[in-house]
Amino acid sequence: MSEKPHERIAEIKRKADEGPTILQHSFRPFFMSAGLWATLAVPFWLLSFAGVLVLPEGFDGLLWHQHEMLFGFAGAAIAGFILTAISNWTGRLPVSGWRLAVLVAMWIAGRVGFLTIAWIGPLAAAVLDLSFLTMLALMIARELISGNNWRNLPVLILISFFTLGNWLVHFEISGLVETADMGIRLSTFILAILVAVIGGRVVPSFTRNWLVKSGSDVLPEPMGRFDGVALAALIVFVIAQVLMPDIQVTSWLALIAGGLHGVRLLRWKGWAIFAEPLMWVLHLGYAWLVVALLLIGASGLTDNVPDSAAIHALTAGGFGTMIVAVMTRASLGHTGRELVSTPATTVVFILITIAAPTRVGAPFLNDLNLTAIWISGIAWTFGYGLFSVLYFPVFTQPRVQKRQANQVSE
């Protein structure tokens, strides 16, 4: 007698649960990897920047820093979030077991490849590094197609363009065409759109749930036409920023997008959720996107705002804050733990919040520039280092059962 579909699915899920806990869901290994790499990559860059680490000839330290914070740190966080969310979007079983292990191994190989590029050569580094994001995009496409989930096709498109940016970096490293700057720029601002798209879903949704549970009469505005206009403005700016970053029209587009997303953020009533750090850190992450857009616009129209300040508002501020906000909340929620920030987790948020404005403000401080960069780097390293230590048991231990979770909350 042939096995029934529901029995086959139950058997697949049972076998997945029998494997190592860390391979039972994609957020476990990838969020852990993102935290560890954020902890290691910034000190490596700071020490090499200061000349303490002597880099081999042919190793571009600045490009390594840009590449690894984007495609290493953010890439791991993206993989953990999207592959976790996609099972909810499609109703299919999550990627787990050996398939997840292979994808994680590809991520690790990419980090080793780009770190050793001066020794193994650009071709070998490209093969090792490009395999991860390329495979991730293919896996997302497979899940969306198999689940007939066309609503989330824009996410696949964004991940594909993010991956293209990495290909453009390797094209230049391989001596084919000078596209590294465009590749970094493309992936950076595609990630900004991804923050706006995903943030536009989770921030108001989580805010509404928390406010309703708290009995508040203040609720976020529902998603509507204004959100579509704000996203469209951001997309238009990103296209201009990637293709024509140095013209004034692009700067004005950044200011318009920043203003619209500032209003969008205000519509989510963030002032009503300050009592819970898991909530205000999400709003803060989105606020950094607004600040970054305004600074990018200002930097193109005046010499008083350095480009470095504007781009770090987006990367250290927007990406760094939003990634740690999403990783902490998703990790707690998907392992059955209470959605409340512990004092130690709040310290993580505070450290990242110190790191971001300090790095953004560094170019304005003249003689104190390097001091501010080091303070920022140390705060970032301790922040993500503490996250990695705190959440290691969350990633490696089984899901908390409902009865146990209720006991914890009592």
Are residues 394 and 252 both part of a single domain? yes
Are residues 61 and 5 both part of a single domain? yes
The answer to whether residue 306 sits within a structural domain is yes
The answer to whether residue 97 sits within a structural domain is yes
DSSP class of residue 271? Answer: G
Are residues 269 and 410 both part of a single domain? yes
| Interatomic CA distance for residues 79 and 314, integer angstroms | 20
| Domain that includes residue 254, residue range | 196-410
Are residues 47 and 147 both part of a single domain? yes
E-state strands within 19-159? none
Are residues 174 and 293 both part of a single domain? no
Angle subtended at Cα 249 by Cα 363 and Cα 288, rounded to the nearest 5 degrees? 45
Phi-psi region of 102 (alpha: psi -120 to 50; beta: other; left: phi over 0): alpha
- Among 314, 204, 214, 205, smallest CA distance to 266 is for 204
Are residues 6 and 150 both part of a single domain? yes
Residue at a domain's end among 178, 209, 242: 178
Q: Considering its fold, how many domains does the chain have in total?
A: 2
Give pTM, 2 decimals: 0.92
| Interatomic CA distance for residues 10 and 23, integer angstroms | 17
Are residues 355 and 281 both part of a single domain? yes
Are residues 138 and 274 both part of a single domain? no
Structure tokens at 363: 């170019």
* pLDDT number for residue 402: 54
Structure tokens at 347: 């310290």
The answer to whether residue 236 sits within a structural domain is yes
Distances (CA, A) of 257 to 58, 153, 403: 39, 23, 46
User: Collapsing DSSP states into helix, strand and coil, what is residue 243?
Assistant: helix
The answer to whether residue 187 sits within a structural domain is no
CB distance 224 to 263 below 8 Å:
no
Are residues 249 and 365 both part of a single domain? yes
The answer to whether residue 185 sits within a structural domain is no
Q: At 112, which helix (H) or strand (E)?
A: helix 97-115
* pLDDT number for residue 406: 41
| Interatomic CA distance for residues 70 and 272, integer angstroms | 32
First CA to last CA distance, the chain? 48
The answer to whether residue 326 sits within a structural domain is yes
Are residues 220 and 357 both part of a single domain? yes
Q: Token match 């791991």: residue? A: 76
Residue at a domain's end among 178, 206, 234: 178
How would you write the pLDDT of the chain (410 residues) with one tens digit per residue? 445 544 554 555 555 566 789 999 999 999 999 999 999 999 999 999 888 888 887 788 899 999 999 999 999 999 999 999 998 888 888 888 999 999 999 999 999 999 999 999 999 999 999 999 999 999 999 999 988 888 899 999 999 999 999 999 999 999 999 999 999 999 999 999 999 999 999 999 999 999 999 888 889 999 999 999 999 999 999 999 999 999 999 999 999 999 999 999 999 999 999 999 999 999 999 999 999 999 999 999 999 999 999 999 999 999 999 999 999 999 999 999 999 999 999 999 999 999 999 999 999 998 899 999 999 999 999 999 999 999 999 999 998 875 444 433 32
* pLDDT number for residue 334: 92
* pLDDT number for residue 52: 87
The answer to whether residue 189 sits within a structural domain is no
- Output helix, strand, coil percentages for the chain, rounded to the nearest 5: 80, 0, 20
The answer to whether residue 186 sits within a structural domain is no
| Interatomic CA distance for residues 306 and 308, integer angstroms | 5
Residue at a domain's end among 143, 178, 213: 178
Give 151's contacts (C-beta < 8 A, 6+ positions apart).
89
